[in-house]
Amino acid sequence: MKKYSEIKEKIRILNRIYLIQIDKVVFLITLISLFWIFGYKLFMINIEPLFTNTYNIAANIADITYTIFSSIVAASIFYIVTVFLPRFNAINNMRRNIVPDLLHINNMIKNIVVTVNKENTNIKYTFEEFSTIIHNKQHKLDLEKVEKDFVSHFCESNLLEGLKVTISYLKNYIEPIYLNYSNILPQVIIEQLTDYKFRNFDLSNLSKDKKGIYDILFMQIVQSIMITNLFKIYYDLKE
């Protein structure tokens, strides 16, 4: 039973990673067409007298249907060779290449997070705790408390320039992901990357509002973690 559950889960993951809706439609229609073609060639064509009479309407319809289904199978093979397999290989390459980038992103964020104290204590946040709070959207109050601790810590420490440099490095890792892989990514990840890419990061107009600057930087860190979490969950990636 456990073995069956593991196999079922692996199939579910592979289905999510590699198959888009049109692939499922193509494969289903192809299977139906192949089933009909083999059934026609192996069984129906030998039925007497249904398919022996050239002028029999049923025989003519069967021949037309056979031709149509054969064309569908040929078109499906062309789709698999020219569309599905290249995308399959591209996803595999991305899964291999992106893991080091995600690790760098997480390490940079970790170096920021572990310096922040929890409210009115000397206890530091862990990256795992920080990431869990962000990932769980139901805990809005927890996220607001983390943001308050984050802003308070960096305002008091006067570490704006160092934080801006780290955020800049994050962008250097995240934006190429959008540029290189947007054609094969699912919509949910594309939306996050697009929001990250086109969000206004110009802090020059907020130079007098230090808290406003840190609020923006905090949201960039939040988005970075959300993006890496989405990749790890969706593509079953292990660091």
Cβ-proximal residues to 91 (8 Å cutoff; 6+ apart), any chain: 17, 18, 184, 235
Sign of the four-CA dihedral 114, 117, 123, 128: negative
Please report the pLDDT score of residue 76 as a whole number: 94
Residue 213 corresponds to which tokens in the numbers above? 């600057």
Strand, helix or coil for residue 117: strand
Please report the pLDDT score of residue 49 as a whole number: 55
Please report the pLDDT score of residue 84 as a whole number: 93
Site of tokens 């992106």: 98
- Between the alpha carbon of residue 38 and those of residues 43, 45, 59, the distances in Å are 8, 10, 16
Along the 239 residues of the chain, how does pLDDT read in single tens digits?
556 666 777 778 778 888 888 999 999 999 999 998 888 877 766 665 555 555 567 677 778 888 899 999 999 999 999 999 999 999 999 988 888 888 888 888 888 888 888 877 788 888 888 888 777 755 666 777 888 888 777 776 567 777 777 888 888 888 888 888 988 988 888 888 888 776 655 555 555 556 667 777 788 888 888 888 888 888 887 76
The pTM is what? 0.75
Please report the pLDDT score of residue 170 as a whole number: 84
Task: Identify which of 170, 163, 171, 168 has the alpha carbon closest to the alpha carbon of residue 214.
Answer: 163
Task: Identify which of 121, 213, 127, 208 has the alpha carbon closest to the alpha carbon of residue 163.
Answer: 213
Task: Identify which of 159, 144, 163 has the alpha carbon closest to the alpha carbon of residue 224.
Answer: 163
Backbone angles phi, psi at 117, to 5 degrees: -85, 145
- Buried-exposed string 203-234: b where 16+ CB fall within 10 A, e elsewhere: beeeeeeeeebbebbbebbbbbbbbbbbbbee
Residue 102 corresponds to which tokens in the numbers above? 């995600």
